[in-house]
Structure 1
Amino acid sequence: MPRRLAHRQGAAGLGWLLGLVLLCVAGCSSQGVVTPLAPWPPQPSTSPAPGVTVPPSAIPTGSTDPGSLRRRLIHPDGDYFGVSTWKAPSESETDLVAGPAGATPTIQEFFVGWDESFNPQSVRNSYHLGALPLLTWEPEGPSKASNQPAYSLSRIAGGAFDGYIKAFAAAVKAEGQPVVIRFAHEMNGSWYPWSEGNSGNRPGDYVKAWRHVHDLFARAGATNVIWLWSPNIVRGSETTGFASLYPGADYVDWVGLDAYALGEKTAGAVLDHSLALLHAITDKPVLISETAAEPGPEKAPWTADLFRWLKLHQDVIGFVWFEHTPTDGGKYDYRFTADPATERAFRKGLASLHLVHWPITAAVSTPPPAPTR
Structure 2
Amino acid sequence: MTGGHRRRPEDGVTRRGLLGLAGLGAASSAGVFGMWKAASRETPLVVSGTPTAPPSASPSPFAKAEGKLGGTVPFTAGKAMLGSYLGLDGMTYPEAVKLRRDQLGRDQRITHVFYAWEDRLPDSIEGMPETSVPMVSWRGPKYGAILDGDADDLIAAAARRIRDLDRPALLRWGWEMNGDWYRWGGARNDEDTDGYVKCFRRLRGIFDDEGADKVSWVWSPNWNSSPKDDWNRIDAYYPGDDFVDWVGVSGYNLHRESPATLFDPIYTKYSARKPIMITEVGSKDYGGTTKADWIRELGTYVEQRPAIGGVVWFDTDTHPSYPEHWRLDSLPDAAAAYREMGENERFSG
TM-score, L = length of structure 2: 0.72
Cα distance in 2 for residues equivalent to 1:89 and 1:320: 20
Deviation at 1:222, TM superposition (A): 1.2
2:240 maps to what in 1? 248
1:45-64 maps to which residues of 2 (within 5 A)? none
1:334 maps to what in 2? 326
1:50-199 maps to which residues of 2 (within 5 A)? 71=71, 73-77=73-77, 78-86=79-87, 90-122=93-125, 125-126=127-128, 128-139=129-140, 151-199=141-189
Note if 1:301 corresponds to 2:301: no
Deviation at 1:75, TM superposition (A): 1.9
Deviation at 1:76, TM superposition (A): 2.5
Q: Which moved more, 1:161-170 or 1:232-241?
A: 232-241
After superposing on structure 2, the runs of 4+ consecutive aligned residues of structure 1 that deviate more than 6 Å are none
In structure 2, give the amino acid aligned to 1:136.
S
CA contact (8 A) 1:153 1:201 kept: no
Deviation at 1:328, TM superposition (A): 6.2
- Equivalent pairs counted in the alignment come to 280
Deviation at 1:200, TM superposition (A): 4.9
2:8 maps to what in 1? 6
Note if 1:222 corresponds to 2:212: yes
Deviation at 1:330, TM superposition (A): 5.8
Q: 1:195 to 1:316 in 2, by over 3 A?
A: same
Q: Name the % identity.
A: 23
In structure 1, give the amino acid aligned to 2:330.
A
Q: 1:236 to 1:318 in 2, by over 3 A?
A: same
CA contact (8 A) 1:5 1:329 kept: no
Q: Which moved more, 1:347-356 or 1:130-139?
A: 347-356
Q: 1:307 to 1:237 in 2, by over 3 A?
A: farther
Q: 1:294 to 1:80 in 2, by over 3 A?
A: same
CA contact (8 A) 2:179 2:222 kept: yes
Cα distance in 1 for residues equivalent to 2:226 and 2:182: 21
2:279 maps to what in 1? 289
Deviation at 1:332, TM superposition (A): 1.8
SS of equivalent to 1:204? helix
Deviation at 1:94, TM superposition (A): 1.3
| RMSD of aligned residue pairs (Cα, Å) | 2.9
CA contact (8 A) 1:196 1:203 kept: yes
1:61 maps to what in 2? none
- What per-residue deviation string (whole Å, max 9, x for no partner) do you get for residues 162-199 of structure 1? 11001111222233221111000010111000001115
- What per-residue deviation string (whole Å, max 9, x for no partner) do you get for residues 200-239 of structure 1? 5623110011111111111112111110000010279957
SS of equivalent to 2:87? coil
In structure 1, give the amino acid aligned to 2:183.
P
Cα distance in 2 for residues equivalent to 1:153 and 1:161: 10
Show structure 2 runs of 5+ residues with no match.
1-5, 11-67
In structure 1, give the amino acid aligned to 2:211.
G
1:264 maps to what in 2? 256
Cα distance in 1 for residues equivalent to 2:205 and 2:310: 27
Cα distance in 2 for residues equivalent to 1:134 and 1:183: 10
CA contact (8 A) 1:263 1:299 kept: no
In structure 2, give the amino acid aligned to 1:215.
G
Q: 1:258 to 1:320 in 2, by over 3 A?
A: same
Cα distance in 2 for residues equivalent to 1:329 and 1:228: 28
2:44 maps to what in 1? none
Tell me: higher relative CO, structure 1 or 2? Use CA pairs within 8 A at least 6 residues apart.
2
- What per-residue deviation string (whole Å, max 9, x for no partner) do you get for residues 87-133 of structure 1? 899321112223333322111000111221122122x643x442001
Q: Which moved more, 1:93-102 or 1:158-167?
A: 93-102
Cα distance in 2 for residues equivalent to 1:205 and 1:227: 18
- What per-residue deviation string (whole Å, max 9, x for no partner) do you get for residues 257-287 of structure 1? 11111132532132223322334xx611111
CA contact (8 A) 2:84 2:314 kept: yes
Q: 1:225 to 1:89 in 2, by over 3 A?
A: farther
Q: Which moved more, 1:97-106 or 1:185-194?
A: 97-106
Deviation at 1:5, TM superposition (A): 6.3
Cα distance in 1 for residues equivalent to 2:291 and 2:163: 41
In structure 2, give the amino acid aligned to 1:155.
A
1:203 maps to what in 2? 193
TM-score, L = length of structure 1: 0.68
SS of equivalent to 1:121? coil
Note if 1:317 corresponds to 2:309: yes
